[in-house]
Amino acid sequence: MVLPTDYALAVENLTVSFDGFKAVDAVSLYVDKGELRVVIGPNGAGKTTLLDLICGKTRPTSGSIQFLNRELSSMAEQKIVRNGVGRKFQTPSIYPKLTVFENLEVSFPKGRGVWGSLFFSRSEEVKSRILEVAKEIYLDEDLDTEAEILSHGQKQWLEIGMLLIANPQLILLDEPVAGMSVSERKKTAELLRRISQGRSVVVIEHDMNFVREIADKVTVMHQGKVLAEGSMDKVENDEKVIEVYLGH
């Protein structure tokens, strides 16, 4: 039996086996509310698969995933979203022909605001939330811009905004700054620090300078397992980590 914990996210003994190959192998991981956790490790370490398991895209072979004391490991993917988990994949999934405003609008969760609609119109509620999020993601002056003409970095921010609209309590991001310019990276670091306040964020990242800038704690994965965990200073001086990841 897995006991409820005080952590927002408690992953315990999580394993997934693809034809006998354990891509994630007995991983345990605990993330607090308000914490920004970064997961690093060499290619093929199982980082993306770990996020796939948490958001319900892939089913674990064994182990548990508790989020705010709800068990996610057998929950349908859409229900996991409704329970406050937002996932951004490596390839952007914005609607290129829609404007920034419209992209945020279509991401507004349906069926919300039932009570609010008694007092003011739903469209006002949606609009004010869109403006709030657009400001957070540095796109409040681009609301009428078609998504396809945004810069690469702005597209990534828009996709983060499409998650934020629903105010998820856990956000999972796979390599959010890949391909971004230096100034976009800086603004993304600020954005991630800001959105981790009051919720939990798990980020997969390779750029060690960026990791140092954003991480509360770092988890290092290797061959499906957790190799090391702790502050950036701790993990970058860990001999096992240097050997398999940082040393080359």
Ligand X SMILES: Nc1ncnc2c1ncn2[C@@H]1O[C@H](COP(=O)(O)OP(=O)(O)O)[C@@H](O)[C@H]1O
| Minimum distance from residue 247 beta carbon to ligand X (Å) | 18
Q: Closer to ligand X at the Cβ: 157 or 245?
A: 245
* In the block, residue with structure tokens 């770990």: 50
Residue closest to Mg ion, measured at CB = 48
Which of ligand X, Mg ion, none sits in contact with 18, Cβ below 5 to 8 A by type? ligand X
Q: Which stretch binds ligand X (CB under 6 A): 42-50, 112-120, 151-159, 194-202?
A: 42-50
| Minimum distance from residue 239 beta carbon to Mg ion (Å) | 25
Candidates 2, 4, 13, 18; binder of ligand X (CB under 6 A) is 18
Is residue 172 within 8 Å of 202, Cβ to Cβ? yes
| Minimum distance from residue 45 beta carbon to ligand X (Å) | 4
Token pair for 238: 């860990």
Is residue 79 within 8 Å of 159, Cβ to Cβ? no
Would you count residue 188 as binding ligand X (CB under 6 A)?
no
Q: Closer to ligand X at the Cβ: 25 or 35?
A: 25
Q: Closer to ligand X at the Cβ: 43 or 93?
A: 43
Q: How many helices (H) and strands (E) does the chain have?
A: 9, 10
| Minimum distance from residue 112 beta carbon to ligand X (Å) | 33
Q: Closer to ligand X at the Cβ: 47 or 199?
A: 47
Secondary structure (3-state) at 148 = helix
Token pair for 108: 């507004």
Secondary structure (3-state) at 194 = helix
Residue 218 pairs in a beta bridge with: 38, 230
Token pair for 124: 């006002």
Instruction: Count CB-CB contacts under 10 A for residue 137.
Output: 23
Q: Closer to ligand X at the Cβ: 6 or 19?
A: 19
Which of Mg ion, ligand X, none sits in contact with 96, Cβ below 5 to 8 A by type? none
Candidates 14, 36, 48, 52; binder of Mg ion (CB under 5 A) is 48
Would you count residue 48 as binding ligand X (CB under 6 A)?
yes
- Show the 3-state SS of 19-67: CCEEEEEEEEEEECCCCEEEEECCCCCCHHHHHHHHCCCCCCCEEEEEE
Would you count residue 88 as binding ligand X (CB under 6 A)?
no
DSSP alpha helices (H): ranges in the chain? 47-54, 77-82, 100-107, 122-136, 152-164, 182-195, 208-214, 232-236, 239-241
- Footprint on this chain of Mg ion (rule: CB under 5 A): 47-48
- Footprint on this chain of ligand X (rule: CB under 6 A): 18, 23, 41, 43-49
